[in-house]
């Protein structure tokens, strides 16, 4: 692996470790929700006959918790309070009331400063300690069926039309099976990390606490969520929900062993994991294909736009990060994408000299511009006002295998498929144009030197062009972003050396 990759991996690891919930806060939150479970199971509890079971769900159980953007923001801990009752014996409203009364009594007994407040599906308990703010969202639930093998739970929602009526039609969820699916997506790397920690602590593998184990997938999701939080800081209604990001990232992940490779591949593949079912975008629940995690996009178009706008930005920022050629541009990308404090924490142990050397080694190839002056290359006839940026990344594949990212100037054998992707900070609407230039004897003899411009298309918000490697020689592709007849960004030549 190149020196820059090793250093960048360390930088991203530093960043995610800074984003981690501290061991003290983790243990504090864990003790709080265990105390709620103990309260609901005490002899005087009004729900004791229902055998209450309290367990965590969401980022706390998945190992993808990140610290809030500011000290005034809360950590968000999601819990399930599962009572063993039947839908034929209780309504959603009654269940919500039973759990709510016990939580209100708990708050009063603990003399907490904030009351238990009802939300659409859950009850919220706020904890305002001197050094940290967090809240527990407690979701009332019962088994969805009588089957002991079925982990699906029926949950409450006070906006459901039959919320107050005893009936069989309840909203449902399955956090237990989702957690199992998520763990399977990273099973190999999870075992590797657990063994490494056991050796470091000189302990048995089974004694390593699960929350201490962090795989590249978990680290990537932390980075994605932090980038999302920075992008939509102050706009909570529009920011993409975590379950979408987590599901798409886990689907795209292929047991990469380091954060750099995992981030590159996950960001490149996330769009491809969004289905199009008869014109409706669909992010299927992996444990229930009939549930669409993106179902709100149809009703709230702005949320769909916000998600694809965020994908645009994370793709562009990732490309900028991996292609940075100066310490200034590298640090600016870190700051704009992940925040000032996170960027400082990530690079605190790296001197400017070390970073410069890393950046130098990341440049795959440098070309003499005169090599790109050929007679068959058409001249761009747009007015040039280059006040925006566009980056291009390229991935290759053959025989149906997954795409693998390649650097500018890479040597590629014949009969490979190439996928060019452009990332721009230009606001829509705009046009994408690609210029493809071939050189060499084989292309000349086949009359395929090319050199013209091709209008691009946007697929799932991504600016894509596909090509294949056919003729030996040096070839290149350049992307131009045109807005109202003016070229506002151009990528520079991305060279493919076909061998």
Burial class (CB in 10 A: 0-12, 13-18, 19+), 246: buried
Alpha carbon distances (Å) from 237 to 135, 232, 234: 19, 9, 9
| Cα 82 from chain centroid (whole Å) | 29
CA 440 – CA 387 distance, rounded (Å): 34
427 DSSP 8-state letter = P
Average pLDDT, stretch 285-291? Answer: 93
Flag whether pLDDT at 124 surpasses 90: yes
Domains of the chain: 3-16+183-362 (no CATH), 21-173 (3.30.460.10), 369-498 (2.60.40)
For the chain, what is the radius of gyration of the CA atoms?
A: 26
Task: Express as a percent the part of the chain with pLDDT over 70.
Answer: 92
Q: Model confidence over 141-186: pLDDT tens digits?
A: 999 998 888 899 999 999 999 999 999 999 999 999 999 999 999 9
Q: Which residue has the higher pLDDT, 113 or 166?
A: 166
Query: For residues 401-426, b (16+ Cβ closer than 10 Å) or e, as one string?
Result: eebebbbbbbebeeebbbbbbbbbbb
| pLDDT for 331 | 85
436, 439, 464, 481, 499 from 442: Cα distances, Å: 16, 8, 26, 31, 11
User: What is the pLDDT, as a whole number, of residue 348?
Assistant: 79
DSSP letter at 118 equals: E
What's the CA gap between 293 and 261, in Å, rounded?
26
CB 404 within 8 A of CB 297: no
Locate tokens 């990537």: which residue?
220
Would you say residue 357 has pLDDT above 70? no
The pTM of the full predicted model, rounded to 2 decimals, is 0.78
CA distance 223 to 236: 18
Orientation angle between helical segments 301-323 and 327-338, nearest 10 degrees: 160
Work out whether strand 133-143 and strand 75-82 pair parallel, antiparallel, or are unpaired. Answer: parallel
Say if residue 295's pLDDT is above 60: yes
Give residue 410's pLDDT: 82
Closest CA to 13 of 259, 345, 342: 259
Q: Is the pLDDT of residue 217 over 60?
A: yes
Query: What is the per-residue pLDDT across 63-104, written as a single tens digit (0 to 9) for each?
Result: 999 999 887 788 889 999 999 999 999 999 999 999 999 999
What local confidence, expressed as pLDDT, does residue 428 receive? 84
Q: Mean of the pLDDT values across residues 344-363? A: 64
Closest CA relative to residue 12, chosen from 336, 262, 299, 284: 262
Runs of H (alpha helix) within 68-151:
92-110
pLDDT averaged over every residue in the chain: 88
pLDDT at 362: 44
Give CA–CA dist 311/293, Å, rounded.
Answer: 16
Phi and psi (nearest 5°) for 119?
-110, 180
Is pLDDT of 393 > 70? Answer: yes
Q: Select from 425, 404, 423 the least CA-distant residue to 413.
A: 404
- pLDDT of 363 reads 39
Identify whether the C-beta of residue 83 lies closer than 8 Å to the C-beta of residue 47.
yes
The answer to whether the beta carbons of residues 471 and 443 sit under 8 Å apart is yes
CA distances from 186 to 176, 256, 271 (A): 16, 9, 20
226 Cβ contact partners less than 8 Å away, ≥ 6 residues apart: 15, 19, 66, 338, 339, 342
pLDDT on residue 406: 85
Pick the more confident residue, 200 or 353: 200
């Amino acid at each position: 692996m190149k020196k820059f990759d090793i250093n960048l991996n360390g930088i991203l690891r530093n960043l995610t470790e800074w984003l981690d919930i501290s061991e003290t806060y983790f243990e504090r939150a864990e003790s709080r929700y265990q105390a709620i479970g103990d309260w609901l199971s005490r002899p005087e509890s009004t729900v004791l006959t229902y055998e209450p079971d309290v367990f965590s769900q969401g980022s706390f159980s998945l190992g993808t918790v990140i610290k809030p953007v500011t000290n005034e923001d809360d950590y968000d801990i999601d819990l399930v309070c599962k009572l063993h009752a039947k839908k034929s014996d209780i309504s959603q409203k009654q269940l919500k009331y039973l759990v709510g009364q016990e939580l209100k009594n708990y708050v009063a007994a603990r003399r907490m400063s904030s009351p238990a407040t009802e939300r659409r599906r859950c009850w919220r308990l706020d904890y305002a300690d001197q050094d940290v703010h967090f809240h527990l969202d407690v979701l009332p639930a019962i088994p969805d069926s009588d089957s002991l093998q079925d982990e699906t739970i029926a949950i409450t929602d006070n906006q459901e039309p039959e919320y107050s009526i005893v009936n069989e039609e309840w909203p449902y969820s399955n956090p237990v099976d989702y957690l199992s699916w998520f763990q399977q997506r990273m099973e190999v790397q999870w075992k590797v990390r657990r063994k490494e920690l056991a050796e470091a602590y000189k302990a048995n593998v089974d004694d390593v606490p699960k929350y201490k184990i962090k795989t590249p997938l978990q680290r990537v999701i932390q980075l994605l969520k932090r980038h999302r939080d920075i992008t939509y800081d102050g706009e909570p209604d529009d920011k993409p929900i975590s379950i979408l990001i987590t599901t798409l990232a886990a689907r795209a992940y292929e047991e990469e062993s380091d954060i750099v490779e995992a981030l590159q591949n996950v960001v490149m593949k996330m769009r491809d994991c969004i289905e199009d079912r008869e014109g409706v975008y669909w992010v299927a629940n992996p444990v229930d294909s009939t549930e669409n995690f993106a179902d709100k996009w149809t009703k709230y178009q702005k949320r769909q736009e916000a998600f694809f706008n965020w994908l645009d930005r994370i793709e562009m920022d990732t490309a900028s990060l991996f292609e940075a050629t100066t310490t200034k541009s590298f640090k600016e990308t870190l700051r704009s994408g992940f925040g000032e404090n996170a960027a400082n924490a990530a690079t605190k142990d790296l001197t400017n000299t070390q970073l410069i050397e890393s950046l130098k080694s990341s440049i795959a190839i440098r070309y003499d511009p005169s090599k790109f002056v050929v007679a068959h290359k058409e001249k761009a006839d747009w007015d040039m006002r280059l006040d925006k940026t566009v980056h291009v990344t390229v991935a290759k594949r053959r025989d149906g295998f997954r795409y693998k990212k390649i650097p500018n100037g890479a040597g590629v054998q014949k009969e490979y498929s190439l996928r060019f992707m452009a990332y721009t900070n230009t606001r829509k609407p705009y046009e994408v144009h690609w210029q493809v230039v071939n050189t060499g004897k084989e292309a000349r003899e086949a009359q395929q030197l090319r050199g013209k411009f091709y209008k691009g298309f946007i697929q799932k918000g991504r600016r894509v062009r596909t090509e294949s490697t056919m003729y030996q020689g040096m070839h290149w592709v350049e992307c131009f972003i045109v807005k109202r007849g003016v070229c506002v960004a151009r990528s520079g030549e991305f060279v493919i050396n076909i061998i």
